Structure formats: structure tokens, C-alpha cells
């Protein structure tokens, strides 16, 4: 079993590269920073693990980053993705001082895919499948809207466009009596050993029955079939304990900061 430091090193070396922005519509570099535009009018800021000099300069770049995105009238919000182990002093103050709002911190979870490939007993009547049809995807995002408490109508359109690109993304759902009760994505990362598991959501009345863990195991099995040996996810406190029981390890913390036009 790989230890947390080895997993974190693999995360920094393999994922904080072009791999992190492979679906970008556009990308501009500002020093170490990558200023990215994604489908859905989303701006995104990320960067490799900085050295001491780069970390010192980063807070000073926040106003220039905002100037860049303000000049793009279609961009309605920007996410600046921070990682706790970067240790960038003064970045929080610079972001908040320029109008960014921090979301809740999330745990960066990583583990070996083979450890998650286990048999999980599903409740009677619950089945899992990978979906590609528009009707299924809209049913899936409607369920996720209920779970997350906000409309995700645009997300269905984004996912449909992603599927049309055939970039390897898979959408998995759990169904019971014709209703989607849980769902999650698998996103293999080109040129790396990683696949990401994202968008995990389960209706409250179906939680605690092993369904999300079964979806995690199924996605990990699919990742192994694609030659991916490592699984990663940014997890809320709802999903972190489930992923820990499945074999993922918390290697750091990430906090998204968001700016809204």
C-alpha cells in the first residue's frame, strides 16, 4: 500500500500539469498560474506546486487574474483552486480582499484503484449501469439538483457535450424501481496513472445502504480496465468517510474560492 506522501507526490507531479486543464476551451499563463476557461462560462485558476519564491509572488497576482476574466464578458464566475500543502502565505487575504468567497474545504483523497475494486452487496432491487442517453443524463442531474439543493440544468448540457468529445468520461447511476437514487462520474486523466471520481450524490432516503460505495467500486473497476492504477477525488465531509473505508487516503485539503460577476 502506498503511503500518503507518495500519493501526494504523484498528485503534484502527474495531475497539476496540462492534465488538469485538458478539456479547457482556452488557457493563458500568468507566471506560474494557469487561467482557464471551461465549458459553461466557467473561469478556473490553478497552478503546479510552487517553490518559495513563486508562493511569495502569488498573492500579488490576484488583481491581474481578475482583470483577465473581467475582460471576458461570457465568464460569470471564477474558481481559484487552492491546496493547503502549498503553504502560500497571504493568499487567503488577497483573494477575499478582491471579492473571492471561500467554499467549504474539501479533502484530497487518493488511493490505489485495486483496493477499491471490491464486491459490495446492493440492496434488493438496486442496479448499477453506465448511462449515455440524454434522457438518463437529465434524470441524473435532476436527482443531483435535489441532493445539492441547487439547480443543475446547465450541467446536463455540459455532460452531453463532454460525452460527444469521447474523452473517456463515464457516467454511472444506481436505480431502484425506475428511479435514479445515486450517481457519480469517472474521469480518466490522459497521460497519467489517475482517474477521478466526481459528482457523487445519493438521495437522502437511500443513504447508508452501501450504494455509493458500490458505485465507487464499480468506477474503480472500470478505471483498472482502462489502465488507471490510482483514484482521486476532492471530497466533502459526507463522502470522505465512505472513501476512507474504501481505501482512499486524505493527502491534503483543497479550498475553492469563487468570484461572481
Which CATH fold would you assign to the domain 112-253?
Aminopeptidase (3.40.630)
Residue 149: per-residue pLDDT:
83
- pTM confidence score: 0.90
Residue 206: per-residue pLDDT:
95
Residue 151: per-residue pLDDT:
77
Pick from 141, 123, 127, 106: nearest CA to 235: 106
Segment 5-20 mean pLDDT: 95
The span from the CA of 152 to the CA of 143, in Å, is 9
Residue 2 confidence class, pLDDT cut points 50, 70, 90:
confident
Residue 223 confidence class, pLDDT cut points 50, 70, 90:
very high
Instruction: Round the average pLDDT of the chain to a whole number and report it.
Output: 94
**Long-range contacts made by residues 18-27, C-beta under 8 angstroms, separation at least 24?**
18/191, 19/189, 19/190, 19/191, 19/192, 19/194, 20/46, 21/46, 22/167, 22/189, 22/190, 23/162, 23/165, 23/167
According to DSSP, residue 150 is labeled S
Residue 62: per-residue pLDDT:
98
Residue 8: per-residue pLDDT:
97
| Each residue's pLDDT tens digit, 71-82 | 999 999 999 999
Q: Phi-psi bin for 78: left (phi > 0), alpha (psi -120 to 50), beta?
A: beta
Residue 245: per-residue pLDDT:
85
Residue 215: per-residue pLDDT:
94
% pLDDT > 90, the chain: 83
Residue 60: per-residue pLDDT:
97
The answer on pLDDT for 200 being more than 90 is no
What torsion do the CA atoms of 86, 89, 90, 91 make, to the nearest 10 degrees? 0
The answer on pLDDT for 40 being more than 90 is no
Segment 178-191 mean pLDDT: 95
Residue 134 confidence class, pLDDT cut points 50, 70, 90:
very high
The answer on pLDDT for 185 being more than 80 is yes
Residue 131: per-residue pLDDT:
98
What is the enclosing helix (H) or strand (E) of 91? helix 91-97
Residue 107: per-residue pLDDT:
96
Residue 72: per-residue pLDDT:
93
| Each residue's pLDDT tens digit, 139-171 | 999 999 999 888 776 889 989 999 998 989 999
Residue 243: per-residue pLDDT:
86
The span from the CA of 26 to the CA of 143, in Å, is 31
The answer on pLDDT for 67 being more than 90 is yes
Listed by start position, the domains of the chain span: 4-106, 112-253
Which CATH fold would you assign to the domain 4-106?
Aminopeptidase (3.40.630)
Amino acid at each position: 500500500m502506498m503511503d500518503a506522501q507518495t500519493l501526494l507526490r504523484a498528485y503534484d507531479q502527474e495531475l497539476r500539469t496540462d492534465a488538469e486543464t485538458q478539456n479547457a476551451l482556452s488557457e493563458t499563463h500568468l507566471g506560474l498560474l494557469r487561467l482557464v476557461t471551461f465549458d459553461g462560462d466557467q473561469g478556473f485558476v490553478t497552478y503546479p506546486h510552487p517553490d518559495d519564491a513563486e508562493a511569495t509572488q502569488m498573492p500579488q497576482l490576484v488583481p491581474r487574474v481578475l482583470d483577465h476574466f473581467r475582460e471576458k464578458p461570457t465568464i460569470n464566475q471564477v474558481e481559484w483552486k487552492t491546496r493547503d500543502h502549498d503553504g502560500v502565505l497571504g493568499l487567503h487575504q488577497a483573494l477575499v480582499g478582491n471579492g473571492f468567497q471561500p467554499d467549504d474545504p474539501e479533502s484530497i483523497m487518493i488511493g490505489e484503484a485495486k483496493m477499491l475494486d471490491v464486491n459490495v452487496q446492493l440492496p434488493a432491487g438496486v442496479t448499477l449501469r453506465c448511462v449515455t442517453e440524454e434522457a438518463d443524463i437529465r434524470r441524473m442531474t435532476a436527482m443531483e439538483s435535489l441532493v445539492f439543493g441547487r439547480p443543475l440544468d446547465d450541467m446536463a448540457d455540459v455532460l452531453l457535450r463532454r460525452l460527444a468529445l469521447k474523452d473517456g468520461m463515464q457516467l454511472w447511476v444506481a436505480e431502484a424501481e425506475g428511479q435514479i437514487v445515486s450517481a457519480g462520474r469517472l474521469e480518466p486523466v490522459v497521460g497519467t496513472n489517475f482517474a477521478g471520481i466526481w459528482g457523487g450524490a445519493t438521495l437522502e432516503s437511500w443513504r447508508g445502504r452501501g450504494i455509493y460505495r458500490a458505485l465507487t467500486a464499480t468506477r474503480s473497476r472500470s478505471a483498472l480496465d482502462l489502465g488507471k492504477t490510482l483514484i482521486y477525488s476532492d471530497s466533502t465531509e459526507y463522502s470522505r468517510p465512505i472513501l476512507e473505508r474504501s481505501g482512499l487516503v486524505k493527502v491534503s485539503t483543497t479550498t475553492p474560492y469563487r468570484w461572481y460577476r
